[in-house]
Amino acid sequence: MNDYGFELLSDQPILVNEDNIREIFSPENWYADLQRSVNAAEMSRRKFRDIAVIAGLIFQGFPGEHKKQKHLQNSTGLLYDVLVDAEPAHLLLQQAHREVLTYEVEANRLHHSLERIGRSKFLITRPKDLTPFCFPIKVDSLRDELTSEKLQDRIKRMQLQAER
């Protein structure tokens, strides 16, 4: 994704037409959909590390002799797993989840965007070639593909195809 659009990947075809586009972008049940769509557990685990250090639950080492980052990750991961199993409603777990949705995912901004999209007029087009807005998104998705061709060469080839 970038400032102009996003690429949606799915293991099944997604039918996009005038009839179902409003349902796809509906803000109804947005929060439940958000929780199902992002890996909130893993993101909360990472955020929990910072919260556990601030709360004093994790010893970072003596001044000048800090623990290695891997040890901190293991300690906070173990503590996170214990709290999830023993006390899933723990305040620090709730704080980690809340911070993920607020700062990482920007849930409120997403909800406002869905409301704005719902009030907008939809124009569905199916261009034959890559458009200027989708080109950077496509390049980013190519970075993850396994190939022996250099990324720069692939971008040049795509630009030549687009110019034709």
pLDDT digits (tens), the chain, 164 positions: 778 788 877 778 888 887 788 888 888 888 888 777 766 777 888 889 889 988 988 888 788 877 787 888 888 889 999 999 999 999 999 999 888 888 877 888 888 999 998 888 888 888 888 888 888 888 877 766 555 567 677 778 778 877 87
Residue pair 113/6 in contact by the 8 Å Cβ criterion: no
Residue pair 40/100 in contact by the 8 Å Cβ criterion: yes
pTM over 0.85? The answer is: no
CA–CA dist 10, 25 (Å, integer): 16
End-to-end CA distance of the chain: 26
CA–CA dist 17, 142 (Å, integer): 27
CA–CA dist 144, 55 (Å, integer): 37
The H or E element that residue 37 is part of is helix 30-37
